[in-house]
Amino acid sequence: MSPFDSRRYLIPFRSSLLPQIFCDTLVIGTGVGGLRAAIAAAEHGDVIVLGKEDWRQTNTAWAQGGIAAVTDDADTFASHTQDTLTAGAGLCDEPVVKSVVEAAPRHIRELIEWGMRFDVAEDGNLKLGREGGHHMSRILHSDGDATGRELARTLWTKARATPGVRVFGSCFSLDLITPSDEPGAPVMGAITHHPKYGLQVIWAKATILASGGAGMVYRETTNPKTATGDGVAMAYRAGAAIADMAFMQFHPTTLYLAGAARALITEAVRGQGALLLDRDGYRFMPEVHPLAELAPRDVVSRAIVRRLAQHGGTHVFLDARAIPHFAAQFPGIAAVLKQFDLDASKDLIPVHPAAHYLVGGVVTDACGRTNLPGLYAVGEVTCTGLHGANRLASNSLLEGLVFGEIAGRVCRERTQFGKDNGHAPAVAPINGWRLPPRPAPVPLVSNIPPSTRGELDLGDVMSSLRSAMWRNCGIERTGGKLADLTEMIEFWGRYTLDKVFDDVQGWQAQNMLLVAWLMARGAAWRRESRGCHWRDDFMNSEAAFRVHDHWKRGDTAPTLAPVVELARAGA
């Protein structure tokens, strides 16, 4: 058995001996999906929102790109839908795409009503930008390159002002609680850790997972340090289905300077006319794709690494010198560049791809339900079928808004059990949720025996893991490298998962190893190239792999789910 399937909980605990908190809905995550879900869920019960760190340290708040939405008469839902399907390379579930695209304008209006500031054109209308993979200008931004920060501020302010919403900051979720290890056992909350209050059990009638992505499993990433894949890991341990983990999207343009963090250079810069040049000053993208610099992100990322392999160098350059008033259009990026004595109006910007967005994740239906009763999931932690094999630029914030609202509303089917709401959960609440379930869920202490193996330095393991993922499960992959990577991860897992840690660093390390293993396993299984998954040894897309690969704890092979298409008239 793999070391990643032998472990149910990260720590042994007895719920009856820990502080216990009760709520109707527990939301894990303070990004766009979590906050929007909390606002909706508060309409039918009390809500607790767990934030791993400050809400500003989320992928949402760090997002420079905008929100894709059809808000102009020249644009159409059909065009936005087709661009999404094209980027998704045959793996998008079309009904989901259509519903999200058509819901976008309503959510934009709602955000404006809640006080979000969008950039406005000279004629007073919303200013619309264009990004990679879009054939129309339909991207809404705030302050040029600070859309995520403004969106997060708006939702945070709204959530904190919503009656019934409590926010627990600096609270780490270790595991989802189930009454047994049986397949399909319901989720009844989570065990958490707070630096002041220690371990706590939070019981909830509905739990919404909105914990974000996993970019930190890669050496090069645009993500904040909080993006360690905790949600995918805890859902997998609880028995949730995980899908399409081969698909990690790499952003083509991040600042590449020695000693500098891999700061994102938003796609909107290329949308305003910036060009990609190699070290000889040659513009290479027009010969790669008809959309040139605005091709889908996987195309641009591969083109960059291939150019470097063929012509040398450690990075290419982004030429934004022709963009008028760059600092006014992109003040955040201009401020970062200034720290390194770079001026985009005069200097070329050194850039290189970096891990950016986890396309796969916890499987949900069109309402955010997972295969576990009581567990819902929204945002980057999920696999909803919207993104397929490659996310279209600026669809992720939109996804969080749409699915956050839906899941927060739909989970009423559990919080209002016994009332005339037209829905019934798979299992009834226990004891009216005034007392913990009896018997209280207690992980088997015997499944975490005292370790007899040697010690490994966690810092070394994490550094080695991130480098190995970058080299072997990065922009271009081969079966041999993926096999070696899986062996390495399982080796580290045997010496790490048998330990019981008492701090966030240790728990994150265990989660990152598990998520990396799921990625490597999915990439090895998918013997084709599709979207942001590229195999040098299987360079074509294959019809047999036009499926979602679902993995559950203990599986040695995936369950295959067909791609859902819309019924066509006359078909």
Q: With a cut of 80, say whether residue 417 has pLDDT above it.
A: no
pLDDT at position 249 is: 96
Sign of the alpha-carbon torsion through 561, 567, 568, 570: positive
Reported as a pLDDT band with limits 50, 70 and 90, residue 450 is: low
Name the residues annotated as catalytic. Answer: 297
**Is the separation of the CB atoms in 318 and 274 below 8 Å?**
yes
Cα atoms in the 13 Å half-sphere on the side-chain side of 204: 31
Q: Which two tokens stand for residue 111?
A: 């955000």
Of residues 448 and 193, which shows the higher confidence score?
193
Q: Which amino acid makes up residue 31?
A: G
Q: Is the pLDDT of residue 453 over 90?
A: no
Read off the pLDDT of each residue in 279-300 and give the average, rounded to a whole number: 93
pLDDT for residue 1? 77
b or e along 73-89 (b: 16 or more beta carbons within 10 Å of the residue's beta carbon)?
eebeeebbbebbbbbbb
Q: Is the pLDDT of residue 441 over 50?
A: no
| Average pLDDT, integer, range 45-74 | 91
Give the mean pLDDT of 258-267.
Answer: 82
Q: Which CATH architecture has domain 253-354?
A: Alpha-Beta Complex (3.90)
Assign domain 25-247+359-419 one CATH number from 3.10.20.740, 3.40.50.880, 3.30.300.30, 3.50.50.60.
3.50.50.60
Q: Read off the tokens for 534.
A: 């590229």
Locate the domains of the chain by residue range. Answer: 25-247+359-419, 253-354, 455-547
**DSSP 3-state of 543:** helix
Three-state SS at 14: coil
The total of other beta-carbon atoms located within 10 Å of residue 534's CB is 23
The pLDDT of residue 448: 53
Q: Residue 569's pLDDT is what?
A: 57
How do residues 88-140 score in pLDDT, each as one tens digit?
999 999 999 999 999 999 999 999 999 999 999 999 999 999 988 899 999 99
Q: Do domains 253-354 and 455-547 have the same CATH topology?
A: no
Write down the residue that tokens 């975490």 correspond to. Answer: 448
The architecture of the domain spanning 455-547 is Up-down Bundle (1.20)
Q: Is the pTM of this model over 0.75?
A: yes
